[in-house]
Amino acid sequence: MRLFVGLDLPWETKQRLAVLAGGIPGARWVPPENYHLTLRFIGEVARYQAQEIDLALAASGGKRFTLTLAGLGTFAKGGRETQLWVGVARNAALEHVQGKVEQALRRAGLAPERRRFVPHVTVARLDNAVPGKVAEFVQGHNLFRAAPIEVGQVCLFSSRLGKEASVYEVEVEYPLG
């Protein structure tokens, strides 16, 4: 199984993000049903390990909180932009929950995450996008802001590669207190 831990977004928020789609030639826009905020990518694991991950996440706890999606940015690799994302306004409660997820996954036997946590929602893949258009788009939408989101659970997602896009499915929901 290919897994990751994240926050599912309310449908209203997904619709608000979908308004951004378009305006960058060559970009592959993420389908709205796939919008989520990744807390920790896990990758391929065996069934027994998925069960250990489930047990560790169930015991990780955390409190409900509110977050706000705000601003746009890109990730680059080798000098080329690869992803367009909507960011998250600074949020100590989100960082706390992400830290609890990381601790739980270490208890389940996973190696520590080496990358710094940068909370975001990917809205497009930019492999073939025109670079100048990406910069224009980010500048033109940098004041983007969505309504605050009440976060009441963390989710364990599975990911399967599809023809057009990956298919994400919530496998387990872990309520926050």
Closest CA to 172 of 156, 158, 159: 156
Length of the chain: 177
3-state secondary structure 3-57: EEEEEECCHHHHHHHHCCCCCCCCCEECCHHHCEEEEEEEEECCHHHHHHHHHHH
Q: Is the pLDDT of residue 162 over 90?
A: no
Active site residue 36: yes
Q: What pLDDT, on the 0 to 100 scale, is given for residue 75?
A: 95
Q: Is the pLDDT of residue 164 over 80?
A: no
Q: Is the pLDDT of residue 129 over 80?
A: yes
Number of H helices, E strands in the chain: 4, 10
> pTM, whole model, 2 decimals?
0.94
Q: Which of 104, 120, 134, 144 is catalytic?
A: 120
Domains and CATH numbers, the chain: 2-175 (3.90.1140.10)
Question: With bands split at pLDDT 50, 70 and 90, how would you rate the model's confidence at 61?
Answer: confident
Percent helix, strand, coil in the chain (nearest 5)? 30, 35, 35
Q: What pLDDT, on the 0 to 100 scale, is given for residue 49?
A: 96
Task: Report the distance separating Cα 121 and Cα 143, nearest Å.
Answer: 15
- Average of pLDDT values for 39-54? 96
Output b/e per residue, 36-55; b: 16+ Cβ within 10 A.
bbbbbebeebeeebbebbbe
pLDDT tens digits for 103-117?
Answer: 999 999 999 999 999
- Average of pLDDT values for 13-32? 95
Q: What pLDDT, on the 0 to 100 scale, is given for residue 161?
A: 86
Active site residue 96: no
Q: Which of 6, 16, 24, 36 is catalytic?
A: 36
